[in-house]
Amino acid sequence: MSISSFLTKKFLKSLFFPAHNRGGALPKKLVKLLKNPPGYWDLPELPEIGSPLSKSGLIANSQRDFSEKFGAKRCFFGVNGASGLIQSAVIAMANPGETILMPRNVHISVIKICAMQNIKPIFFDLEFSHETGHYKPITKIWLDNVFKKLDFDNNKIVGVILVSPSYHGYAGDLEPLIDICHQKKLPVLVDEAHGSYFFFCKNLNLPKPALSSNADLVVNSLHKSLNGLTQTAILWYKGNLINEINLIKSINLLQTTSPSSLLLSSCEESLKDWQNKKSLSKYQKRILEAKKIYKKLIQKNIPLIETQDPLKIVLNTSKAGIDGFTADNFFYRNGLIAELPEMMTLTFCLGFANQKDFLNLFEKLWDKLLLNSKKSKSLEVLQSPFELVQAPEIEIGIAWRSETRSIPFSQSLNKISGDIICPYPPGIPLIVPGEKIDIDRFNWINNQSLCNKNLVNFNIRVL
């Protein structure tokens, strides 16, 4: 079968990204555009359109309008996912050899750019839940303790990255965290890939958006948490701690010379759609419906985990003695496609289309799964093996460029990794180049791979 034939395959219910749910919630203007003769709209960077870095043209005007409306100094559309803009933000923040403080649940795009640019990550651990296997949101006390452990004299720490909300939708209060960093004059990049729509729903008791919480740089994924096409993203810039010229140079360095006009239009329309009163009230209704779905499932004793993002339905399959991968496989075979299987949980993303039919289908399938599956597994997720503050034993850029050999992970104890081992989704590395596979980490990665077929008998490149 060709890719193009597969793209029109029908699933009973698709609860994965992109959040427009297979076109169900695309902005009307984009739908209209796509109804034109196929490919007609695929234009190059004509002067009237420009590019995200042009001083004039439709894109520049649009970005200027959004910056003004949302209280940013500048914003930039991106067509290489949140990944591309996060990487530009990282190199705007740090020069080669400098250090960035970042949490353990940072996205793989950050690790890749650190390896490429010889930027040194210092990781801080996060509070961990044995019940779910997930990291919890960071509190001010937690970050205070991290800062107390940092050796500012021997590391040139030039910035901090925070991830909020997480893939599952956990989010805490960002402002006090950003305050701590700003007291040290450290700029903060917030990876808000999963929280773009928080901007538009201040009345719905959702987490406060990163830009309103004084972040210096914020990256939103417009296909994960607004109704943009895959690869669309936006970077917001604010404050005085990041040099604007550096930022522009950094975007320029990683940007394609041929950004897709369709994707750029999708960046614009997904944001504009939420500024349109009628569409906004429709989407807000969807969010309230999502809250109701959660409540109803809880009333039926279905083990859901509460997060701060109503659009994520996180099923704690482990409560029924079933791992998330087995559950995912079962739902997939029955036409209900989830987003993120993990050992203890399975996460569904409701997105912005109407999901009223999800409730009955989900209930029916969950009951069937409970009846049909073996529930003998004693599922236990190991505590992450990290110190509160920890840097790789060898600089990430050096380890990445070193000569490595590929060996079975089972033989890697006490070796130094030259690899990034990272299940996707969620794209959070288990180990990065330069880190030692000590016994705790070895056991932890083995534990992580118990149910995940992608991590069974895998090879790792070691120094």
Ligand X SMILES: Cc1ncc(COP(=O)(O)O)c(C=O)c1O
Report the residue number whose CB is nearest to ligand X. Answer: 81
The smaller minimum CB distance to ligand X, of residues 77 and 409, is found at 77
Question: Closest separation between CB of residue 192 and ligand X, Å?
Answer: 8
Helices vs. strands in the chain: H and E counts, helices first? 14, 16
Cα(132)–Cα(150) distance, integer angstroms: 29
Question: How would you label 349-358 residue by residue, b for 16+ Cβ within 10 Å and e otherwise?
Answer: bbbbbebeeb
What 3-state DSSP class applies to 79? Answer: coil
Instruction: Centre a 10 Å sphere on the Cβ of residue 445 and count the other Cβ atoms it contains.
Output: 20
Beta strands 188-191 and 217-221 are: parallel
The smaller minimum CB distance to ligand X, of residues 82 and 226, is found at 82
Cα(50)–Cα(58) distance, integer angstroms: 7
Question: Closest separation between CB of residue 291 and ligand X, Å?
Answer: 22
Cα(366)–Cα(327) distance, integer angstroms: 9
> Bridge partners of 123?
102, 390
Question: Closest separation between CB of residue 18 and ligand X, Å?
Answer: 9
The smaller minimum CB distance to ligand X, of residues 222 and 437, is found at 222
The smaller minimum CB distance to ligand X, of residues 416 and 421, is found at 421
Contacts of 32 (CB under 8 A, 6+ apart): none
> Bridge partners of 417?
462
Contacts of 214 (CB under 8 A, 6+ apart): 175, 178, 179, 182, 188, 238, 239
Question: Closest separation between CB of residue 349 and ligand X, Å?
Answer: 11
The smaller minimum CB distance to ligand X, of residues 83 and 266, is found at 83
- 348 phi/psi in degrees, rounded to 5: -110, 140
The smaller minimum CB distance to ligand X, of residues 219 and 451, is found at 219
- 444 phi/psi in degrees, rounded to 5: -65, -45
> Bridge partners of 197?
none
The smaller minimum CB distance to ligand X, of residues 85 and 242, is found at 85
The residues of the shown chain that bind ligand X, judged by CB under 6 A, are: 81-83, 86, 107, 109, 163, 167, 191, 193-194, 221, 233, 425-427
The smaller minimum CB distance to ligand X, of residues 166 and 412, is found at 166
Question: Closest separation between CB of residue 223 and ligand X, Å?
Answer: 6
